[in-house]
Amino acid sequence: MATALKNLSDYNSSDLGDPSSLRIGIVVAHWNEEITSALYRGAYDTLVKEGVSEAHITTVQVPGSFELPYACKQLITTYAPDAVIAIGSVIQGETKHFDFVCQATAQGIMDLNTQTDTPVIFCVLTDNTWQQAKDRSGGKHGNKGVEAAVAAIQMAQLS
């Protein structure tokens, strides 16, 4: 496994420029809340630590990952953020539902990236087990929410 024994959430703050004027949206799926709330906390705390004003962070909650693209689109239309982070967690079960939700969510977020001028960061864990999700939401592999916040800052500053 490529991530074995590595914390992938390490980054260099000096590479991020000055994000103090950025407006960032975060859309968080409620499903698998223990995982998504840890991802959210990682993203939110990183944004604030790097200088994004708390007043410039807008958070929206949705029931599950499937609803993320719709809410991201509404947030872009309503609040005009510089970037949006889509946070979700889908864990493999016994049916094909996992495949459909993962594919639709990824496609919906990718479509927003090609159809709008606002970058939407994919922070949706698609894990085989609960333990894998925990390891990537603040466990031994770091917190993908931190990585998503760093990507949001970087992408928002591209224009």
Q: Provide the residue-wise pLDDT of the chain in tens; the chain has 159 residues.
A: 345 555 546 777 777 888 989 999 999 999 999 999 999 999 999 999 999 999 999 999 999 999 999 999 999 999 999 999 999 999 987 777 877 888 999 999 999 999 999 999 999 999 989 999 998 888 888 899 999 999 999 999 986
Write down the pLDDT at residue 66. Answer: 92
**95, 132 contact by CB (below 8 A):** no
Write down the pLDDT at residue 142. Answer: 85
Write down the pLDDT at residue 7. Answer: 58
Write down the pLDDT at residue 2. Answer: 46
16 φψ region: left (φ > 0), alpha (ψ -120 to 50), beta (else): alpha
Write down the pLDDT at residue 139. Answer: 85
Write down the pLDDT at residue 9. Answer: 66
Name every residue whose Cβ is closer than 8 Å to that of residue 114 and which is 6 or more positions away in sequence. none
| Annotated catalytic residue, options 30, 56, 97, 141 | 97
Is 97 one of the annotated active-site residues of the chain?
yes
DSSP H helices, the chain, are: 33-49, 68-79, 97-115, 130-135, 144-156
Q: What is the CATH number of domain 33-156?
A: 3.40.50.960
